[in-house]
Structure 1
Amino acid sequence: MRVLFAAPARLWDDWAPALRAACPEIDLCRDGDPASFDALIYAPGYPEDGSQLDFSPFVNARVVQSLWAGVERIVTNPTLTQPLCRMVDPGLAQGMVEFCTGWAMRAHLGMDLYPQDGVWRQGETPPLAADRRITVLGMGELGRAVASTLSGLGFDVTGWSQSGRAVPEISVFSGERLDDAISRAEILICLLPDTAATRDLLNQTRLGLLPQGATIINAGRGTLIDEAALLHVLDENPSARAVLDVFRTEPLPAGHPFWNHPRVTVTPHIAAETRPATAAHIAAQNLRHAMRNEPLIHLVDRHRGY
């Protein structure tokens, strides 16, 4: 099985040993005749000259396996006719759970209310978790993992997805109840993908539904939130906060107003990384499925965009 590693060169040293260990039967290459490849392992940033990869010469490729959970940078490529699979990695899910849980706990406990300035602020005791309402927007693999973990800690958790598909022990609102899901959220966790339907989903009107003092944690995609609207709502809701890990432009420009806003925390897209040690096994499984003409795992729906 001949596989092209269609990813930035900086990833090669970490990924090549992991992929070869997980799938010893592959001939993993960094270049070659496109028609000779049975599959591609893809990550954004390839080709490194900034051009769009032309998939049309890869006439014998049976699958394009993304190393990222998000596929918005490739799914609209008009030359991509091969099956595309997104990465659903247990290590990535665990990383997202840890990130969202950590920041949700910080917001819940009001850790930023206690500057070490010699002032004794007794009386600002947080409620117990059962009395704190959390909404998770996006109930895919990552959203379900985050919602279940927070529910297990005792929080009052509601999920929202377009379909409203049931999740064990979590109340899930469907598409038409988005406003209800937002208006109850003392902590709003955003884990939706970037699609035509989700861009600017959190506009000024919807952000204005948040309760006083709400915290927004966006670890999904930067396009979900209207940035100007968020800044306006933070100014109108002076105890609200935002923890933002994803942005429309990355790296976030040094002059962006998020950097200097007193109630915005910027993290540099670190919520969940695809880890070669765990993700290589998922990629290997899909490569074998492709070569055996078996159903692929996490096949992308081109119309839905994920």
Structure 2
Amino acid sequence: MCVLWPDVLPSPTPDDEVDLVVYDAASPLPESACDADVFVVWARPGHLLPDDARRLRSVRLVQGLMAGTDALVDAGFGDDVTLCSGVGLHDATVSEHTLALILALVRRLPTLVDAQRESEWCSDLAGHQPLHPEGPVTTLLDANVLVWGFGSIATTLAPMLAALGAHVRGVARSAGERAGFEVVSADDVDAVLPETDVLVSLLPGTPETRHVLDARRLALLPDRAFVVNVGRGSVLDEEALVAALEAGTLGGAALDVMETEPLPEDSPLWTAPRTLLTPHCAGGRPVGYADLVQQNLAALRTGEGWRNRVR
């Protein structure tokens, strides 16, 4: 079995049945690699994937190590090719980064960093402060946090937020309880947005989620609310977000993902008020990837025991 392995990750020790071929993740595949049985995808530019799908003549398994597989699904691999995702590999790191973004907004770190650069003592935030002042929230204690896209990352993040005193609810396709947290249906999200202090999006990028956070929904949030997007940039109407921030109808925003990446130099997000941007770096370090690949190589041989099979 020939397995194509990206050069950006340490390769595991192959067993006797695996011929491991390391490829350049940033370049088109060489012709000598196009008879591979398995294609492990990580840090691969999306524009190369349609060419991969066309040229990999014998591929039976495409194992993505990213949580979202929209780029793999859209690449055009044949219906006889099994696609698997990296769901679960990024739960800890994305949760960690998301928590950092939320705390940075709540504790006014961008404002404090700006003051430090100007050698200014930020007197408005120094000394005695009310716990729950008017305006944007300043603590997670008793804050209402709504996590839209309540999958494996959310079930890791939610207990972290709850441990800091937040009241956490999720949004998913169907209502119920997950990991001990109340989850409301996406059809009912408009009813809970007006009572939300922090809205976290972990939504995947699909045609159904495109601009699901539009001007109308942003307007349903209270003026004190923060918006944090660590899912996919396409779910958020960036023009509507900037307009709300400039109008003062949102407390602030933190984005790790944008609709166009890298973010263009002329994007109004760079100068939007009360906005923190990070360059799609919440994940980037799949944890336990070797075990996932080994499990799905075994499943490819036996037809049983698939993990994270998308198609």
TM-score range, shorter chain: 0.7 to 0.9
What RMSD over aligned residues (CA atoms) do the two structures have, in Å? Answer: 2.6
CA distance in 1: counterparts of 2:45 and 2:255, whole angstroms = 26
- The residue matched to 1:52 in structure 2 has which SS? helix
Partner of 2:206: 195
- Alpha carbons of 1:23 and 1:240: their partners in 2 closer, same or farther (altered >3 Å)? farther
The answer (yes or no) to whether the contact 2:171–2:184 under 8 Å persists in 1 is yes
CA distance in 1: counterparts of 2:271 and 2:17, whole angstroms = 51
Deviations 1:214-254 (A, max 9, x none): 11111100001111111111122256211111111111011
Q: Does 1:168 align with 2:179?
A: yes
Q: 1:213 aligns with which of 212, 219, 224?
A: 224
Matches within 5 A, 1:259-278: 259-275=270-286, 278=288
The answer (yes or no) to whether the contact 2:197–2:225 under 8 Å persists in 1 is yes
- The residue matched to 2:276 in structure 1 has which SS? strand
How far residue 168 of structure 1 moved from its aligned partner, in angstroms, is 2.6
Partner of 2:20: 28
- The residue matched to 1:73 in structure 2 has which SS? helix
Q: 1:125 aligns with which of 130, 134, 155?
A: 130
The answer (yes or no) to whether the contact 1:159–1:171 under 8 Å persists in 2 is yes
Instruction: Report the residue type matching 2:104 in the other structure.
Output: R
Residue correspondences, number:
290
Partner of 1:71: 69
- Alpha carbons of 1:3 and 1:46: their partners in 2 closer, same or farther (altered >3 Å)? farther
Instruction: Report the residue type matching 1:21 in the other structure.
Output: T
Deviations 1:185-208 (A, max 9, x none): 211111000011100000000001
How far residue 164 of structure 1 moved from its aligned partner, in angstroms, is 2.6
The answer (yes or no) to whether the contact 2:110–2:276 under 8 Å persists in 1 is no
Partner of 1:104: 102
The answer (yes or no) to whether the contact 1:34–1:57 under 8 Å persists in 2 is no
Matches within 5 A, 1:53-92: 53-55=51-53, 58=56, 60-81=58-79, 82-90=81-89, 92=90
Partner of 2:306: 296
What TM-score results when the alignment is normalised by the length of structure 1?
0.84
How far residue 123 of structure 1 moved from its aligned partner, in angstroms, is 4.7
In terms of mean alpha carbon deviation, does 94-103 or 286-295 score higher? 286-295
In terms of mean alpha carbon deviation, does 116-125 or 137-146 score higher? 116-125
- Alpha carbons of 1:278 and 1:181: their partners in 2 closer, same or farther (altered >3 Å)? same
CA distance in 1: counterparts of 2:57 and 2:169, whole angstroms = 45
Instruction: Report the residue type matching 2:3 in the other structure.
Output: V
Gaps of 5+ in 1: 6-10, 302-306
How far residue 53 of structure 1 moved from its aligned partner, in angstroms, is 2.5
Deviations 1:270-301 (A, max 9, x none): 111133x6222212221121122213111115
Deviations 1:10-63 (A, max 9, x none): x50x42xx3323767421223556774322112464687x47225366454331
- Alpha carbons of 1:273 and 1:126: their partners in 2 closer, same or farther (altered >3 Å)? farther
What TM-score results when the alignment is normalised by the length of structure 2?
0.83
Partner of 1:304: none
Instruction: Report the residue type matching 1:83 in the other structure.
Output: T
Gaps of 5+ in 2: 24-29, 133-138
Q: Percent identity?
A: 28
Partner of 2:3: 3
Instruction: Report the residue type matching 2:61 in the other structure.
Output: V
Partner of 1:40: 39
In terms of mean alpha carbon deviation, does 188-197 or 284-293 score higher? 284-293
How far residue 153 of structure 1 moved from its aligned partner, in angstroms, is 2.5
Partner of 1:280: 290
The answer (yes or no) to whether the contact 1:158–1:181 under 8 Å persists in 2 is no
The answer (yes or no) to whether the contact 2:140–2:166 under 8 Å persists in 1 is yes
CA distance in 2: counterparts of 1:168 and 1:51, whole angstroms = 35
How far residue 112 of structure 1 moved from its aligned partner, in angstroms, is 4.7
CA distance in 2: counterparts of 1:34 and 1:118, whole angstroms = 59
- The residue matched to 1:53 in structure 2 has which SS? helix
Flag the structure with more relative contact order, 1 or 2, with Cα contacts below 8 A and sequence separation at least 6. 1
Partner of 2:27: none
CA distance in 2: counterparts of 1:298 and 1:67, whole angstroms = 10
